[in-house]
Structure 1
Amino acid sequence: MKKGITIFTPTYNRAHTLERLYDSLCRQTSKEFEWLIVDDGSDDETAVLVQKWQQEGRLTIRYLYQANAGKSQAHNLGVENAGFELFSCVDSDDYLVDQAVQRILEVWRSLPNAIGIVCLRGKTSTSPLTQWRMEQAYSTLREAYQSNLIQGDTMLVYQTSIIANYQFPSFKNEKFVPETYLYDQLDQVGQLYFLKEILYIGEYQADGYTASMKKIIAENPRGYEAYIQQRLDLDTRIRDLIADTIRYIAIKLVVRDNSLFKEAKYPGLTGILYPLGFLFFKKSYAPYINRKS
């Protein structure tokens, strides 16, 4: 495997935003990377645009196309085809600061023991989006979030040989599995190094993001159920067990397969919390099920 980074970008009908990312990659102070684009069934000018950039020869660009299956399956394909020692996802409407690749590689090559690096995201190179209270250099991702040491999105860089051992599951007629499904598994392998530098530029989600996520979950219940079942296997704090059991009940009510108690990790707790899970279902997911029908 080559030294450097695979910058992976899943994209779906984002020809109008990809050029900003392309320009930022062309400006990188280190060229030790490849840009691996997985087109998730776009029907805009994405393929034509990428072909033009490949012909320009300014970057190493690899383009893969799959029928529309969602970001998680695009991620699986990207990891399978990554050719460099590190792997990082940069979304099609975001971009990197000019020294991002150089800084990641400098830090990575000085680390004695880590499975990857966490970096700040920012609105600009001087205005962070990530709220950062980390004092220690190493942690798992979940521990950092649970302890409120970080809040908001980050840039994640993983060792390719490690992340290649894990994949998102797939479910018929579904296109979404929470990204944390994979990160929770990687947390079991080792710790990340936390680098307090803005290397990734993005934007806040629109005000309607929470509502749209509820709709996405309601339309992709099996993928969310897999995430919650895994969380219940890993939970060690009672408050997490309670919260995830409520979510488990709610998503099982979306699925409607009558296996709620049979497949429950904690049947007794599930029985006690059923009224709260039902209320959560009615508030969060039921409106979107009704719209579908």
Structure 2
Amino acid sequence: MTPSPPRITVLIPTYNRERLLLRALDSIAAQSFREFEIVVVDDGSTDATPSAVAAWSSANGIPVSYARQDNAGQHAAHNRGVQLATGELVVMLDSDDLLAPDALRHYVEAWDAIPARQRDGFCGVLGHCAWWATRQNTGDAYPQPVFDSTYLEVKQRHRIHGDKPGAWRRDLLLLHPYPVFPGERRFRMSWAAQVMALTHRVRCIDVVLHYVDQQADGLSSNTLRKRLMAPRSLWFCFRDEANRFTRGYSRRIRLQAHVRYVRYALHVGKGPIAQQREIADRALLLRAWPAGFVKWLRDVVYRRAGWVKVPNRSLTSAP
């Protein structure tokens, strides 16, 4: 008899985080809900991650699906992990973070509470993050304990800020893989949630589901340098924000999206004419252009002055 697939896949992309990864795995093993699988995608680690994962799996009696790839970034590792996953829902857990107690049970119960006839119109479940050291919420509360909306509405209309971890339908994630630009190892991980929000709602629950323990060398450190090392990825994301993700929202939000688009379009060699071909609202593009140009010029000055160390190969043309 073929075993039933797990209800939920916990996907951990990791890179040189052997010690912290084991702590994340321990937080999964401690969950009361047991219908899960673990997928670890090693993004080219040079430490003892492979042997550490194997030893942990053996010691805990919990299978771990382990895959290794050349270093290509968290988004590329996420794509690989979703392909390997078999769960109905996929939860991405950063290797330096932890699941809160009973997080998987909360995810599945919230998903199952959506009426079956409505579930096709939902893409997943969102909760809250809290800081590991203080247990304080990293962002804003939802207006109700159970709140149905879209990811874009949550962020742009309700102005609910902060990290919001989610369990997402695997079938939809497979439809919306992150674009991967060779040589760039950073991408806005909110992009997939924004795409799904164009057609699907999300159930939000006022429960802390992940603990965040941000490391000094994490993805949020040295933000400007990391952004300038992924100009094509950001150009792509902000083009989508300007054309798709902010439509119907406030003029201020739309203007900000167009300013960011101008900044990174210039970084990849797209001048005013090329930008007009890409952007639907040309009037708003024109209004955004001075501020976007100033931000681009500041980046160039910082780089040339050596205040931000960025390899020249990072600033290349977009496709």
**Under a length normalisation based on structure 1, what TM-score does the superposition of the two structures give?**
0.91
CA distance in 2, matches of 1:128, 1:87: 22
SS in 1 for 2:176: coil
CA distance in 1, matches of 2:290, 2:221: 22
The within-5 A match list for 1:101-112 is 101-112=104-115
CA distance in 2, matches of 1:208, 1:63: 22
* Bigger Cα displacement from structure 2, 116-125 vs 10-19: 116-125
Paired residue type of 2:169: Q
The partner residue of 1:242 within 236, 240, 255 is 255
The partner residue of 2:136 within 127, 143, 157 is 127
Deviations 1:75-129 (A, max 9, x none): 1111111111110100000011231112222222221233211111112595322
Aligned length: 293
Partner residue in 2 for 1:199: 209
Structure 2: 5+ residue stretches without partners: 313-319
The answer on whether the counterparts of 1:218 and 1:285 sit within 8 Å (CA) in structure 2 is no
Which 4+ residue blocks in structure 1 deviate beyond 4 angstroms? 204-211
1:105/1:211 CA distance change after superposition, 3 Å: closer
The answer on whether the counterparts of 1:218 and 1:289 sit within 8 Å (CA) in structure 2 is no
Paired residue type of 1:70: G
The answer on whether the counterparts of 2:22 and 2:53 sit within 8 Å (CA) in structure 1 is no
The structural deviation recorded for 1:134 is 2.0
The answer on whether the counterparts of 1:12 and 1:41 sit within 8 Å (CA) in structure 2 is yes
Structure 1: 5+ residue stretches without partners: none
Structure with greater proportional strand content: 1
Paired residue type of 1:182: A
RMSD: 2.4
SS in 2 for 1:244: helix
Paired residue type of 1:255: V
The answer on whether the counterparts of 2:96 and 2:215 sit within 8 Å (CA) in structure 1 is no
The answer on whether the counterparts of 1:120 and 1:197 sit within 8 Å (CA) in structure 2 is yes
Partner residue in 1 for 2:224: 214
SS in 1 for 2:24: helix
Partner residue in 1 for 2:316: none
CA distance in 2, matches of 1:121, 1:150: 13
Partner residue in 2 for 1:138: 148
Partner residue in 2 for 1:118: 126
- The yes-or-no answer on 1:62 pairing with 2:70 is no
The partner residue of 2:5 within 2, 6, 13 is 2
Deviations 1:241-260 (A, max 9, x none): 31121111111221124433
The partner residue of 2:295 within 280, 286, 291 is 280
CA distance in 2, matches of 1:139, 1:177: 25
SS in 2 for 1:172: coil
* Bigger Cα displacement from structure 2, 167-176 vs 211-220: 211-220
Partner residue in 1 for 2:199: 189
* Bigger Cα displacement from structure 2, 241-250 vs 106-115: 106-115
Paired residue type of 1:271: L
1:210/1:62 CA distance change after superposition, 3 Å: closer
The structural deviation recorded for 1:69 is 0.5
**Under a length normalisation based on structure 2, what TM-score does the superposition of the two structures give?**
0.84
Partner residue in 2 for 1:226: 236
SS in 1 for 2:40: strand
Partner residue in 1 for 2:40: 37
CA distance in 2, matches of 1:173, 1:209: 16
CA distance in 2, matches of 1:80, 1:55: 24
1:71/1:211 CA distance change after superposition, 3 Å: closer
The partner residue of 2:102 within 99, 102, 114 is 99
Counting aligned pairs with the same residue, the percent is: 25
Paired residue type of 1:102: R
CA distance in 1, matches of 2:206, 2:300: 37
Partner residue in 1 for 2:317: none
